[in-house]
C-alpha cells in the first residue's frame, strides 16, 4: 500500500542532524548517508519534524497554484483560521475579495458545514451508547496516529467525514444544481497543515475526496495580503453571501468542537498530549467519557504548521471575530442566511466514512513465532547498547536501533560505542575513557562480551 | 503514586507481536490493574512476562500485606484502599474483578503479611 505524504525532505538542504528523528512521535525518521529519510508507512503527517528542523529542510508539497485555472469554476474552501492570519482591521469580506482577485470564482469557509456535523455527532452518540469514548475524526494526523500506534482504538473513531469534505460535497452539489457540469468544478482546499493534504490525497475510509487540489495556507496568505495592501484604495469589496456563525468561527480552535457535544467531553490538543491520553485510554483507567476532541496541533488548527501568524494571535483574532458578530447582530447588520442547511439531508447522506482499518507499525513480523524470536533478539541487542539514546547511529533511540537491526535496516556496529568496543586499540580505549567522564564510570563496560 | 510504567512497557512488547489489538488491550487492562494493586497496597513488586506462541503468561509478585479474603476482594466494589489512594481516583474496588474479566485464567496466591502472587494467562488462539 502506498501512502501519500505531503511532507518532503529537501536533500540538498538537510544537514543530517538528529532533531527530526527525535521529534517524530511514530519513529518514522532515520538518518542515512547524512540525510533524514522517511519510513513512509509510519508517518502520520503531523509536521512535528518540520517544527524542529533547524535549517527548514522539510517542506510541504502543494499543488501548483496555476492548476486552479484548469477549471472554469474555481472554489476556494478556506478554513476560518485563514481569516485569523490577517490583522484585525482587515475584515473577512476584504479577505474574500482578495481571494477572488487571485483567480478563484467562489470562496467558502469550510466551517459552514460544522453545524450539520455537530448534529450528526450528537445523533451518533445517542445511537451508539456502547461505543465510548467516541474520538473525533476531525484531525487526520490523529486518525492516522490511532491507526498506527493505538490500533485497539480505531473502532472508537467517529465514522463521519470532516467539515472540509462536507463543505466540498455541498459546494459541488450546489454548483451542479445550477447546471454546472461536475468536471468544470475545481474545489481547492487552503490547508493549514500537512495532515489535511494527506487526507485529501489518500483519504482514510473514503474512495475519493471531493477536493480537487490543495493550496498551502501560507502561499495564499502571501498572495492575498499583498493584493490587499496593493489595492488599499479603490478596492472592490464583495458583500458576504453567507455569514459564518460564531460557534463555527472558533470550531477548529481547541474546545470549539467538544463544546457542542452532549455528555462528558474533553478537548486535547498537541500530539504529545494526545499520545499520553490515548496510552492511558488503552488501559481503561481514565473513567468514562462520551467524546474526545483531539487535535495534533497546540491551539487546534491555529497551530497548524503552515500558519504564518502566531497561533495565540490567530486564536485571539477569531475570538474577536465572534465578538464582532454579536455587535453587528445587535445593530441588525447580520442576515442569517445559511444556504447549506437546505442541503442538510444530502450532506448527511454522504457523510459516512467506511471502516478505518488498524495498521500497526509496531508488529515485528506477520508470523508470531518469528516476532517472538525478534523480541528476544532485540532484548539481547539492547543489552549491548549504551542506553543513552544519543541518536548518533541515525535511529532516534537505542531501542529503535535494536529494532532496526532485527529488521535488517541497520547494524549493531552503527552504534559508535559498540564500534569503538569492537575495533578496540589504544586510542579507542582513550575515547571510551573520555566518554565515561561524561556518561559515568563503567557505563560502557558491559556493552559487549570481551 | 506513579503506576502504569511496567504495564505500559509490557504493552509495547505485546504490540510488537502480530496479535489482535483487542486481545492486547485485555491484557493491558488486566496488567495495569495488577500494577496499580502493587503500588497501592504493597511495598515492592516484580512483573514477569512469559510468552510462547500459545499463550501470554504474566506473573506479578509483591511483598506486602497480602489479601486476607481473596473471594471477598474479587467482588466488585470491595476495597481496602486507603483514603489517600482513593483521593487519587484509585481504589474503587474494581481491580481484581477487572483483572478476572480480562484474563482467560487467573490464579491468586496470597500470604498475610508476606505478599501476593497474581498469575494471569491469556491464550493467543482465543484472540483470532
pLDDT in tens, chain A (450 residues): 467 888 999 999 999 999 999 999 999 999 999 999 999 999 999 999 999 999 999 999 888 999 999 999 999 999 999 999 999 889 888 999 999 999 999 999 999 999 999 999 999 999 999 999 999 999 999 999 999 999 999 999 999 999 999 999 999 999 999 999 999 999 999 999 999 998 888 887 767 789 999 999 999 999 999 999 887 665 666 766 788 999 999 999 999 999 999 999 999 999 999 999 999 898 877 778 999 999 999 999 999 999 999 999 999 999 999 999 999 999 988 877 788 999 999 999 999 998 888 888 899 999 999 999 999 999 999 998 999 999 999 999 999 999 999 999 999 999 988 888 787 777 777 887 788 888 888 777 666 544
Residue A217 has, within 13 A of its CA and on its CB side, a CA count of 25
Residues of chain B in contact with residue A378, where contact means CB-CB under 8 angstroms, are 16
Phi, psi (rounded to 5 degrees) for A5: -120, 130
Residue indicated by cell numbers 476560518: A80
B85 touches chain A (CB under 8 A): no
Angle at A165 between CA A164 and CA A169, to 5 degrees: 120
Compute how many other C-beta atoms are within 10 angstroms of the C-beta atom of residue B33: 27
DSSP code of residue B44:
E
Q: Residue A318: is it exposed, middle or buried by C-beta count within 10 angstroms (0-12/13-18/19+)?
A: buried
B-contacting residues in A 260-299 (Cβ below 8 Å) = 279-280, 282-285, 287
Can you count the helices (H) and strands (E) in chain A? 17, 11
In which element (H, E) is residue A189 found? Answer: strand A185-191
The grid cell for A255 is: 474546545
* Nearest residue of B to residue A286, measured between CA atoms: B89
Q: Tell me the backbone φ, ψ of residue A269, rounded to 5 degrees.
A: -125, 150
Chain A CB contacts of B36 below 8 Å: 285
- Residue B35's pLDDT is 93
Instruction: Tell me if chain A has a CB within 8 Å of the CB of B25.
Output: yes
pLDDT at B97 over 50: yes
Q: Is B56 on the interface with A (CB under 8 A)?
A: no
> Is the CB of residue A108 less than 8 Å from the CB of residue A171?
yes
Crossing angle of helices A163-177 and A194-201, in 10° steps, is 50
Q: Domain count for chain B, please give it.
A: 1
> How many whole angstroms separate alpha carbon A378 and alpha carbon A362?
13
Task: Give the model's pLDDT for residue A2.
Answer: 63
The whole-model pTM stands at 0.91
Determine the Cα–Cα distance for residues A192 and A306; give it in Å rounded to an integer. 5
Cross-chain Cβ contact B53/A364 below 8 Å: no
- What's the rounded Cα separation, in Å, for the pair A16 and A30? 10
Q: Please name the residue of chain B whose CA is at the shortest distance from the CA of residue A155.
A: B22
Q: Do B28 and A358 touch (CB under 8 A)?
A: no
Backbone phi and psi for residue A313, each to the nearest 5 degrees, phi listed first = -70, -40
pLDDT surpassing 70 at residue B10: yes
User: Which residues of B are less than 8 Å from A285 in CB distance?
Assistant: 4, 32, 36
- Domain containing B12 equals 5-127
CB-neighbour burial class of residue A82 (10 A; exposed 0-12, middle 13-18, buried 19+): buried
pLDDT for A168 = 96
Under an 8 A CB cutoff, do B25 and A364 touch? no
What confidence score (pLDDT) does residue A450 get? 46
User: Using CA atoms, how far apart are residues A433 and B62, in angstroms rounded to an integer?
Assistant: 40
Residue pair B48/B58 in contact by the 8 Å Cβ criterion = yes
Residues in A closer than 8 angstroms to B22, CB to CB, are 152
Say what the pLDDT of residue B128 is.
52
Write down the domain spans for chain A. 1-60, 65-349, 363-450
CATH number at residue B80: 3.30.565.10
pLDDT at B69: 87
Is B47's Cβ below 8 Å from some Cβ in A? no
Query: Which ranges of A331-356 does DSSP label H, i.e. alpha helix?
Result: 344-349
Mean pLDDT taken over chain B: 87
Please tell us whether the domain made up of A1-60 is placed in CATH 3.40.50.12500.
Answer: no
Interchain contact, A371 vs B28, CB within 8 Å: no
Inform me whether the pLDDT recorded for B91 exceeds 80: no
**How many Cα atoms sit within 13 Å of A328 on the Cβ side?**
15
Q: Residue A158 and residue A154: Cα distance in Å, rounded?
A: 9
Amino acid at each position: 500500500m502506498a501512502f501519500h505524504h505531503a511532507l518532503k525532505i529537501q536533500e540538498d538542504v538537510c544537514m543530517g542532524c538528529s532533531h527530526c528523528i527525535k521529534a517524530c512521535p511514530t519513529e518514522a525518521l532515520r538518518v542515512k548517508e547524512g540525510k533524514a529519510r522517511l519510513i513512509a508507512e509510519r508517518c502520520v503527517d503531523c509536521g512535528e519534524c518540520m517544527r524542529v528542523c533547524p535549517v527548514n529542510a522539510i517542506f510541504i508539497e502543494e499543488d501548483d497554484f496555476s492548476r486552479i485555472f484548469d477549471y472554469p469554476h474555481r472554489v476556494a474552501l478556506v478554513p476560518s483560521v485563514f481569516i485569523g492570519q490577517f490583522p484585525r482591521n482587515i475584515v473577512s469580506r476584504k479577505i474574500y475579495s482578495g481571494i477572488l482577485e487571485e483567480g478563484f470564482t467562489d470562496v467558502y469557509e469550510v466551517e459552514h458545514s460544522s453545524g450539520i456535523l455537530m448534529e450528526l455527532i450528537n445523533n451518533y452518540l445517542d445511537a451508539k451508547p456502547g461505543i465510548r469514548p467516541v474520538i473525533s475524526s476531525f484531525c487526520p494526523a490523529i486518525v492516522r496516529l490511532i491507526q498506527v500506534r493505538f490500533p485497539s482504538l480505531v473502532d472508537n473513531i467517529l465514522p463521519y467525514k470532516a467539515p472540509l469534505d462536507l463543505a466540498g460535497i455541498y459546494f459541488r452539489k450546489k454548483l451542479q444544481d445550477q447546471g454546472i457540469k461536475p468536471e468544470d468544478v475545481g474545489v481547492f482546499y487552503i490547508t493549514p497543515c500537512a495532515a489535511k493534504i494527506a487526507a485529501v490525497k489518500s483519504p482514510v475510509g473514503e474512495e475519493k475526496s471531493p477536493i480537487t487540489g490543495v493550496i498551502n495556507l501560507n502561499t495564499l496568505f502571501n498572495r492575498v495580503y499583498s493584493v490587499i495592501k496593493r489595492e488599499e484604495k479603490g478596492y472592490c469589496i464583495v458583500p458576504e453571501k453567507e455569514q459564518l456563525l460564531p460557534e463555527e468561527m472558533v470550531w477548529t480552535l481547541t474546545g470549539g468542537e467538544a463544546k457542542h457535544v452532549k455528555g462528558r467531553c474533553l478537548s486535547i490538543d498537541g500530539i504529545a498530549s494526545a499520545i499520553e491520553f490515548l496510552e492511558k485510554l488503552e488501559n481503561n483507567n481514565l473513567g468514562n467519557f462520551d467524546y474526545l476532541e483531539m487535535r495534533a496541533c497546540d491551539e487546534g488548527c491555529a497551530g497548524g504548521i503552515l500558519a504564518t501568524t502566531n497561533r495565540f494571535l490567530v486564536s485571539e483574532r477569531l475570538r474577536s471575530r465572534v465578538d464582532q458578530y454579536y455587535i453587528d447582530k445587535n445593530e441588525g447588520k447580520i442576515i442569517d442566511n445559511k444556504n447549506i442547511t437546505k442541503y442538510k439531508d444530502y450532506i448527511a447522506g454522504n457523510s459516512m466514512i467506511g471502516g478505518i482499518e488498524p495498521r500497526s507499525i509496531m508488529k515485528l513480523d506477520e508470523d508470531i513465532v518469528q516476532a517472538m524470536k525478534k523480541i528476544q533478539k532485540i532484548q539481547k541487542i539492547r543489552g549491548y547498547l549504551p542506553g543513552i539514546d544519543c541518536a548518533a547511529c541515525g535511529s532516534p533511540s537505542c531501542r529503535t536501533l535494536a529494532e532496526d537491526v532485527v529488521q535488517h535496516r541497520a547494524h549493531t556496529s552503527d552504534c559508535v560505542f559498540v564500534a569503538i568496543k569492537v575495533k578496540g586499540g589504544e586510542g579507542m580505549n582513550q575515547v571510551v575513557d573520555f566518554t565515561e567522564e561524561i556518561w559515568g564510570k563503567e557505563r560502557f563496560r558491559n556493552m559487549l562480551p570481551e | 503514586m506513579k503506576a502504569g510504567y511496567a504495564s505500559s512497557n509490557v504493552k509495547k512488547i505485546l504490540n510488537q507481536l502480530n496479535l489482535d489489538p483487542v486481545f492486547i488491550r485485555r491484557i493491558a487492562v488486566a496488567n495495569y490493574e495488577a500494577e496499580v494493586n502493587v503500588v497501592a497496597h504493597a511495598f515492592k513488586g516484580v512483573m514477569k512476562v512469559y510468552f510462547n506462541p500459545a499463550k501470554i503468561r504474566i506473573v506479578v509478585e509483591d511483598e506486602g500485606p497480602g489479601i486476607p479474603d481473596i473471594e471477598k476482594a474479587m467482588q466488585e466494589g470491595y476495597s481496602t484502599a486507603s483514603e489517600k489512594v482513593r483521593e487519587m481516583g484509585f481504589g474503587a474496588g474494581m481491580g481484581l474483578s477487572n483483572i478476572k474479566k480480562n484474563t482467560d485464567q487467573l490464579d491468586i496466591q496470597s500470604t498475610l503479611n508476606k505478599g501476593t502472587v497474581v498469575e494471569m494467562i491469556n491464550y493467543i488462539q482465543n484472540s483470532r
